[in-house]
Amino acid sequence: MRALILVADGFEDLSLYLPWYRLREEGVDVTLASPLMHALTGRHGYVVEPDCPIYAVNPDEFDLLLIPDGAAPEKLRLREEAVDVVRTFAQDGRMVAAMGHGPQVLISAGILDGRTLTCSPGIRDDVRMAGAVYRDESTILDGNLLTGRSPDELPEYCLRLIAMMKACEAVGVR
């Protein structure tokens, strides 16, 4: 199993590191992709080096897409290559997980119409305007889409992320 994490400067450190390490514990090969190939600094000062630029990503090589919280999703949604990757994952029915402000990239990809999700309260109106049903809950799983409200919900989010991944793997869904 392979996972792709889209990341940019201003990522919420916990919502990147905790799922990233949790996936690695499960034996998942994780790749960090960013618009630019330079060291990225999180909201709390942690630094991460991306593995590859987003434009070089082939979505067919991955089973799961993860978008952390923070200011990074606002930067990612302005990059067409990031939006295209998200759209491809959704169109192919692959697993997508987004935390906090992560659904901003999903909005830009135009994939939320009719979906039920949670997100940071600051973007709930944007989610509704994109045609989604917003619920003020810690995590929501809607088919192949997992969303989390905030880093406070990371323990439940990671449990559901691993459960979603194993369920899809069991039935042969990427």
Q: How far apart are CA 104 and CA 99, in angstroms?
A: 10
Q: Which of 43, 87, 94, 101 is catalytic?
A: 101
Q: Which residue has the tokens 């992709």?
A: 33
Q: How far apart are CA 135 and CA 30, in angstroms?
A: 29
Report residue 130 as tokens: 């994109």
3-class DSSP assignment, residue 118: coil
Q: What is the CB-side half-sphere exposure of residue 115 using CA atoms within 13 A?
A: 23
Q: How far apart are CA 129 and CA 151, in angstroms?
A: 24
Q: Does the active-site annotation cover 44?
A: no
Q: How far apart are CA 37 and CA 24, in angstroms?
A: 22
Q: What is the CB-side half-sphere exposure of residue 2 using CA atoms within 13 A?
A: 11
Are 156 and 99 in contact by the 8 Å Cβ rule? The answer is no
The residues annotated as belonging to the active site are 101
